[in-house]
Structure 1
Amino acid sequence: MTTESQAQCPFQTAKSPPPAGSPLPHPYGTWPPGPAAGLTGWHLLRRMSRDLLGTLGEWQQTYGDVVHLRMWPEHAVVVTDPQLVRELLVTHHDSLIRWERGTRVFSRVHGHSVLTAEGDAWSRKRQALQPGFMPKAVHGFVPGIVEIVDKGLATWPTRVADWPVESALTSLTMDVIVRMMFSDEIGEDARVAECAVRAISEAANADFYWPASLPDWVPWKRARRRALHTLRDLIERHLQARLRMRTDTWPDDLLSRLLCLHRDDATAWPLQAVRDECMTTFLAGHETTAATLTWWAWCMASNPSAQDAARAEVTHVLRGQAPTADSRQALRQVVQTITESMRLYPVAPVLISRRAVRPITLGPWRLPARTLFMLPLQLMHHDPRLFPEPERFQPDRFSTGSPQAPRGAYMPFGTGPRVCLGQHLATAEMTVIAAMLLQRYKLSVPEGAAHPRPLLNVTLRPDQPLWLAVTPI
């Protein structure tokens, strides 16, 4: 029989209760309700490994917005209350680190980049990189994005009933990030890199559910080895080519800025740190944008009226011209369709779990140091208490004057000090690509095509590559 978990907290048994005058609704040293753990709780982990979002959703329905999971040796707390999630990521930021196991898994690909760093190392990296991703810097990227998208869309067919739109959008976003990073194009490397990213993501997602990773030399990890070699080789070729250039001829791009950091302080920024940041920027910079645009394309194809309304706005605002840094900000309807797509299909539906380094009071609960917090954003995005008719694609819910969801209910880029570094670039890039695509093509669902099933492999993608019908305007 499933019963609520109310085990005494092993980390607090030797501590004194809170001082008089500050009582908590729940007894000190107890856990929120949750499924029965049994001897080890590992069966809960197995359930999550098969369907993480579905399983967490079932527990939310049964136990509420704060759920305790006892999976020896961990105590995990799943939080889906927007106010409490925001409190964790903002108010308690200094009391949390990222889940160590998740960080180790990501480090095998990203090294010690800003994605995996903690404490002072993270702060220094973030401060050094942030100026290149601020809105003013992003405005300067728009002409280059337009040039790449114009060239990329020119290779799309004039009319086809079944076009690999997901792969095409992935190539497009790879081209954009490679231009921003290396002042170059992905070219023929696109398909190989796309396959490598999928292989790396699948391997990483599987590793999350094991306490340790086997070395890469084991025979069954051949695909991961080859994929990682492909991505590292891509970075290394651009790095070595730049190092062979005279410094006064370096273009103004991310690689040059990183190499300037290396030149100024090789101890803080060795070449390996440059490689690590390039890997993170390449992977995060194209993958999340490509996944979001893939879901956006599906939403447009399966909601013709919303697509027509967005196209009408593009026609009115742009008048046949390409988007600019100023005109893209007037494309409010287009932005709303992207925003609603990210609500339905957040590409990072579960944030990297956080570990408490000291006791935390969260709502009515006093939780000990070492508590692990899981934050499934998608469950909030699909909560009918927060978003009426949550499964319906309804861009107008984000229009000016519409009732707003509670603060913290919608955060596809996260929030707090570790909010996504590239959120402004991603938003600008997606708006430009969406507008230019709507100028040229009508998207529709191929006859007999089924609704794509979301599959989580680090990011949320369709379980099968998405194909759509495209018709020139």
Structure 2
Amino acid sequence: MKTPPQSSCPFHAGGHPPASPKPSSGSWPPGPEAGLTGWGLLTQLSRDLMGTLAGWQREFGDLVHVRTWPEHQVIVSDPHLARELLVNQADSLRRWERALSVYGRVHGHSVLIAEGEAWREKRQALQPDFTRKSVQAFSPSIVAAARRAFEQWPDRREAWPIESELTSVTMEVILRMMFSSGVGSEAREAEEAVHTLMVASTEELWRPASLPDWVPWQRKRRRARLLMNGLIERHLQARLRLPADAWPEDLLSRLLRLHLQQPKSWPLQAVRDECKTAFLAGHETVAASLAWWAWCMASHPDIQEKARAEALAAWHGEESGGADLSALQYVSQTLLETMRLHPAVPLLMSRRAVKPVTLGDWTFPAKTVFMVPMQLMQHDERWFPEPLSYRPERFDPDAARPQQGAYLPFGGGPRVCLGQHLAVAEMTLVAAQLLRRYRLSAPAGMAPPRAVFHVSQRPSAPLALDIARI
């Protein structure tokens, strides 16, 4: 993939984004009119987050100042500045405390929520279990779970609820990786609980304060949280009743070994919290990405056939274990391009400056909040020619690499997603297993799905596709 020779703006034919005025002391980049408080801008964002951000980029450029009393927010959609912010200025930033408060109600004090030295210690302890080499150990269980799930699908069905079914597959996969067993009859309840918590958390972000779970109208959220906690607790207690030498090799056993080795740093509550994050983040974003991938396959039959040929060749004879992921290069490319075009997480958790931050010609004071909407950069023709076209060859090993900072499906800098290698491996293996068994097509007259954002970005209506066993 070749980067365009000139920095042309996809929103201004033949030109560039509006030039920002020369910075002066106490000034900010251009942005929308805020009025007295700017809270009306939050309403716009809550109704159509990515559409509003894209509109502001078209009007004001790659650095946009949004004043919402008492905050100053800066939206960064230039890859060079995004990388400067996330990598070189990482020590000057902390994640937005409102988001940490909201997500902490669900995730506890896991590595996703922790900051500072607590985060560094957790990350260092967990990192060995999420390297590319460590992830290979999960391949057989991923393949086995996917194969069992697809064996239950019908031979042919019009408007098959594929988004829901793939969500069930990923639920089964993540729980087998975590606990070496599925959830059985609890599967649908667990899926609904995850969805409830995701939607509730997104809505809560736009409120100035959070309501406790005991208020009557929070009953659905409270039940979802109790169901998830109960599921994790049952598996945890069952594992503790076994002798340590009988523990299976899964994520729960790896976490419990940390507890045994470092009981003060890793109490049982820390094990529970990491299980929550693996369960929620590991399941939801993978399911969303696979749903969008299925749509891309159905709407591009020639690409689907090429990926299927590779998937059929990747296993020789009996599917008794995982495949070498290098044999699924093109399948992986289809997923990477799906995540570019339809990112499950279209923007990073906001950061707050704890000291002045310099980006380009601008110096922003401490307490400034920064937002990085990766989707805007991934849909920008300056970095991806024909950005709204689905072209897996962009990620061919021999293609030119994207502009640094322009493609961030797992974030960037020190806080890059810990489970990125596991997520890519899971998606690739599940996708390959599906392609080996089914041909996907869009129902006649179906319009492209519209995206909505609830922590992950999903189709606005549940995705249904025609399936036929090959």
- TM-score scaled by structure 1? 0.92
Q: Does 1:306 align with 2:303?
A: yes
Rounded Cα–Cα distance in structure 1 between residues aligned with 2:383 and 2:72? 28
Establish whether residue 358 from structure 1 lines up as the match of residue 355 from structure 2.
yes
- Are positions 1:228 and 2:225 aligned together? yes
Shift of 1:330: 2.3
1:341 — aligned with what? Answer: 338
TM-fit CA distance, 1:326: 5.8
Give the superposition deviation at 1:403. 4.1
Moved more, 116-125 or 376-385: 376-385
Counterparts of 1:181 and 1:155 in 2: how far apart (Å)?
A: 23
Give the 5 Å matches for 1:202-281. Answer: 202-281=199-278
Structure 1 range deviating more: 263-272 or 166-175: 263-272
Is the contact between residue 323 and residue 432 of structure 1 (CA under 8 Å) also seen in structure 2?
Answer: no
Report the AA paired with residue 145 of structure 2: I
User: Residue 113 of structure 1 is aligned with which of 110, 113, 116?
Assistant: 110
**1:416 maps onto 2:413 in alignment:** yes
Cα pair 2:144 2:321 within 8 Å, conserved: no
Root-mean-square deviation (CA), in Å?
Answer: 1.7
1:104 correspondence with 2:82:
no
Deviations 1:395-428 (A, max 9, x none): 1122234344311101101111111111101111
Partner Cα distance (1:51, 1:292) in 2: 20
Cα separation, 2, equivalents of 1:122 and 1:158: 47
Which stretch shows the higher mean deviation, 452-461 or 238-247? 238-247
Query: In structure 2, what is the equivalent of residue 442 of structure 1?
Result: 439
Q: SS of the counterpart of 2:64? A: strand
The alpha carbon displacement at 1:188 in A equals 1.6
Q: 1:293 aligns with which of 290, 294, 303?
A: 290
Q: Secondary structure of the equivalent of 1:355?
A: strand
Question: 2:458 is paired with a residue of what secondary structure?
Answer: strand
Offset of residue 150 of structure 1: 1.2
The verdict on how the C-alpha distance between 1:58 and 1:321 changes in structure 2, with shifts beyond 3 A counting, is farther
SS in 2 for 1:309: helix
Instruction: State the shift of 1:319 in Å.
Output: 4.9
Counterpart contact for 1:177–1:286, Cα < 8 Å: yes
Distance in 1 separating the partners of 2:51 and 2:340: 17
Determine which structure has greater relative contact order: mean sequence separation of CA pairs < 8 Å that are 6+ residues apart, divided by chain length.
2
Tell me how far apart the structure 2 counterparts of residues 451 and 361 of structure 1 sit (CA, whole Å): 40
1:167 pairs with 164, 167, 170, which one?
Answer: 164
Paired position in structure 2 for 1:17: none
Deviations along 1:226-246, one digit per CA (max 9) or x if unpaired, are 111111111111011112222
Give, in angstroms, the shift of residue 266 of structure 1. Answer: 2.4
SS at match of 2:363: strand
Find the counterpart in structure 2 of residue 377 from structure 1.
Answer: 374
Question: SS of the counterpart of 1:61?
Answer: helix
- Measured against aligned partners, the alpha-carbon deviations of 1:146-193 in whole angstroms (never above 9, x if no partner) come to 111111111111111121111111111111111111111122211111
SS in 2 for 1:373: strand
Match of 1:129 among 112, 126, 129: 126
Shift of 1:449: 2.7
1:321 CA displacement: 5.3
In the alignment, what sits opposite 2:77? 80
Q: Is the 8 A contact 1:164 1:466 kept in 2?
A: yes
* AA of the residue aligned to 1:197: V
Aligned residues of 2:94 and 2:354 also touching (Cα < 8 A): yes
1:314-369 deviations in Å (ceiling 9; x for gaps): 23443565496663212221111101100111111011000110001111100000
Per-residue CA distance 1:260-287 (angstroms, 9 max, x = gap): 2222332221211111110001111111
Q: 1:112-171: CA deviations, max 9, x gaps? A: 000000000001111111111111111111111111111111111111112111111111
> Conserved in 2, the CA contact under 8 Å of 1:323 and 1:435?
no
Q: Which residue of 2 aligns with 1:459?
A: 456
Q: Quick check: 254-263 or 187-196, which moved more?
A: 254-263
Structure 2: how far apart are the matches of 1:316 and 1:271? 44
Q: 1:399 aligned to 396, 399, 402, which one? A: 396
Once residues 371 and 43 of structure 2 are traced to their aligned partners in structure 1, the CA distance between those partners, rounded to angstroms, is 16
Say whether 1:367 aligns with 2:348: no
Structure 1 SS opposite 2:26? coil
Tell me the SS of whatever aligns to 2:184: coil
TM-score, length of structure 2 as denominator length: 0.93
Alignment correspondent of 2:67: 70
Structure 2: tracts of 5 or more residues without a match: 1-17
